[in-house]
Structure 1
Amino acid sequence: MPPRRFSNEPAFVLHRYDWSESSLILEVFTRNHGRTALVAKGAKKPSSNFRPVLLPLQPLHLGWTQSAGGEAEIHTLKGAEWVGGHIMPTGDALLSGLYLNELLLRLLARGDPHAFLFDHYAAVVQVLASEHGEALEPVLRLFELVLLREVGLLPALDVQTLTQHALDPAGRYALVAEGGLRTAGQGERASLRGAQWLLLAQALQEGAALTALLHACAPVAFELKPQLRALLQYHCGSPRLRTRQFMMDVQAL
C-alpha cells in the first residue's frame, strides 16, 4: 500500500523542536486533519526553503506524506508555503498567540479534526496581528469559549449545571471547574448576571459567528477571564500553563 499524500492543507505551526542537527519536529494545527506531527527534514539548514516559512502564528499551506497504513505518529513534511495576509504579532499579542497554541497542544488529540475551531483560531490570530487595541481580551475569551465547547468541556450556559434549573436573568452565576455553572456567592466578583450568560449561550448556539461572539464577550471579558482560565487549567492539569506562568512573572517584575 503506497503512502498517502496530502497537499495544500491550511495549517499553523503550534510548536517546533530539534530532531537532529538539521531537522525539526513540528506540531501543526490543520483544518481538515486536526493536530498533526511532522518531521521537516533539513529545515535548519541555511539553504532550506522551509527555514523562513515554518513560524508560529503564520497561515501556511502544507503538504506531507503519511506512511502506508498510517501507523506512524510523525509524518514527513514535503511542502510548506506561506499564505500571507498579516505580519507576526508582537508584544502582548505575541504572548497571547503562544498561549492559544499551548492550549491547543494540551487539549487537542492528534488526528481529531476541528475545522470550525481552526477557522476561529485563524480569525483570532489575524486580530492579534492587527491594531487590536481593545479587542485583545474579548477575542481571547471568545476563543477560550469556542475551544472548550469544541472539545466537550464547556457546560451549558443557559442552565445551572447541577440542578438544570433555568437561569434568572437578574441573578448572578459563577462558572467553576468542578461544578459548572452555579449560583454565585455573596460578593463573588468572578461571576456574571444570568442575562449575560444567556447572551453568551445564544451566541454559541447560533453558529458561534465571530462577530456575534465578540459582541457578547466584549462587555464581560474582565469577569470571564478568571472563570475560563480556572476551567482551562483544571482540564489541562499540572503543571501550570507555561505561557500563563511567564505572563505572571513578567507582571510581577
Structure 2
Amino acid sequence: MTDRERVLLERGFVLHHRPFRNTSQLLECLTSDHGRVGLVANGSRRAGKGQRAYLQPFAPLRLSWTRRGELGRLTQVEPEAAGLALRGQRLLAGYYINELVMRLTARSDPNSDVFECYRNCLSALAGSAALARTVRLFELSLLRALGYGFDLDRDASTGEPLQPERRYVFELEHGPKAAVDSSDGAAYWGRELMSIHSRLLDDRDSLRAAKRLLGRVLGAYLGQRPLKTRAVLEDIVELGLDH
C-alpha cells in the first residue's frame, strides 16, 4: 500500500506478542475488519507503561494504528471488556486456537467470519461449555470461514445419504465414501460423520472421530510443521478433561 492507513478503535484481540527492540513489542492481532495485522507497540515494555497490561491474549480490545507497508504502528489501545479468565486446560485451548488462527490466516486478509467464530469460541471457553466439543466446533467453523469446509451428509460416490450403521472412509478432495472393508481401522461410522456434520458431537465416539478427521484435514493445510499446542491437547477427549 502506498497511502498511510489510519484505523481508529477497531475491535480486536492479541493472538501473539514478543519483545521487539529494546522496549517495544511486536503484536499479531486478529481484528474485525482488517483480518490479522502485525503491529509494533512502541515502548510498551517500559516500566509503568499502562499499555502493556492491556496487550494480552484473550482480552477484547479496541485498537488504533497507522500503517504503510506490512507492519503498522499501534497508536492507541483500550479495553472493550474485561479480559476472559481462562485457566488450566481452557487456557491451553485458548493458546491452541490462537496458534491455529496464526497458521491458517494471512496478514491483511479481512474475514469477519473468522473474527466471529474466534470471538464465540473464546466466550465458550470462558463459560461452562464442554471443552473438547468447543475446540472441535471451532476447528469446523474456522475451516468453513476460510473456504475449506466440507460436507459429511452424503456418500461422495453415490450421492445417497449416509447410513448410521455403515462404515465410510473420508477422502479430503471428495468426502465420505462407503468403505470396501468394514473392518478398516481408518473408517468412520456413518453416525459419527452425521454427528460431525450436524455439529451435534454429544458423545465420546463422535468426539474421537471428529478429532481424528479434523486432525487429518488441518494437517493437509498446515503442512509439515505441526502445531506446538495441538500435541499437548491430544488427550483432551481420551482423558475427559472437559473442565
Equivalent positions of 1:139-178 (< 5 A) are 139-161=134-156, 163=157, 165-170=159-164, 171-177=166-172
Residue 186 of structure 1: how far off its partner (Å)? 2.2
Correspondence for 1:62: 63
Equivalent residue letter for 1:11: G
Classify 1:242/1:229 alpha carbon distance in 2 versus 1 (closer, same or farther; 3 Å).
Answer: same
2:70 corresponds to 1:76: no
In structure 1, the gaps of 5 or more residues are 204-212
Residue 248 of structure 1: how far off its partner (Å)? 5.3
Equivalent residue letter for 1:167: P
- Separation in structure 2 between the aligned mates of residue 85 and residue 182 of structure 1, nearest angstrom: 47
Classify 1:246/1:197 alpha carbon distance in 2 versus 1 (closer, same or farther; 3 Å).
Answer: closer
Classify 1:65/1:235 alpha carbon distance in 2 versus 1 (closer, same or farther; 3 Å).
Answer: same
Classify 1:64/1:169 alpha carbon distance in 2 versus 1 (closer, same or farther; 3 Å).
Answer: same
2:231 corresponds to 1:235: no
In structure 2, the gaps of 5 or more residues are 239-243
Correspondence for 1:210: none
Equivalent residue letter for 1:6: V
2:211 corresponds to 1:217: no
Structure 1 runs of 4+ with >6 Å offset: none
Correspondence for 1:121: 118
2:155–2:162 CA contact under 8 A, matched in 1:
no
Residue 101 of structure 1: how far off its partner (Å)? 0.8
Which stretch of the first structure deviates more once superposed, 44-53 or 185-194? Answer: 185-194
Secondary structure of 1:52's match?
helix
Secondary structure of 1:77's match?
strand
Secondary structure of 2:53's match?
coil
Residue 114 of structure 1: how far off its partner (Å)? 1.8
Q: What count of residue pairs does the alignment treat as equivalent? A: 232
Q: TM-score, normalised by structure 2?
A: 0.83
- Separation in structure 1 between the aligned mates of residue 104 and residue 3 of structure 2, nearest angstrom: 32
Which stretch of the first structure deviates more once superposed, 120-129 or 31-40? Answer: 120-129
Equivalent residue letter for 2:45: K
Correspondence for 1:40: 41
2:67–2:73 CA contact under 8 A, matched in 1:
yes
Cα deviation per residue 1:36-95 (whole Å; 9 max; x = unaligned)? 11111111112222210111112111111122xxxx110011111122245320110011
Classify 1:222/1:38 alpha carbon distance in 2 versus 1 (closer, same or farther; 3 Å).
Answer: same
- Separation in structure 2 between the aligned mates of residue 195 and residue 234 of structure 1, nearest angstrom: 24
- Separation in structure 1 between the aligned mates of residue 100 and residue 177 of structure 2, nearest angstrom: 25
- Separation in structure 2 between the aligned mates of residue 47 and residue 176 of structure 1, nearest angstrom: 55
Equivalent residue letter for 2:113: F
Residue 189 of structure 1: how far off its partner (Å)? 6.0
- Separation in structure 2 between the aligned mates of residue 130 and residue 140 of structure 1, nearest angstrom: 13
Identity, % of aligned positions: 32
- Separation in structure 2 between the aligned mates of residue 164 and residue 19 of structure 1, nearest angstrom: 56
- Separation in structure 2 between the aligned mates of residue 118 and residue 155 of structure 1, nearest angstrom: 20
Secondary structure of 1:218's match?
coil
Correspondence for 1:19: 20
Return the structure number with greater helix share: 1
- Separation in structure 2 between the aligned mates of residue 40 and residue 64 of structure 1, nearest angstrom: 9
Residue 193 of structure 1: how far off its partner (Å)? 4.3
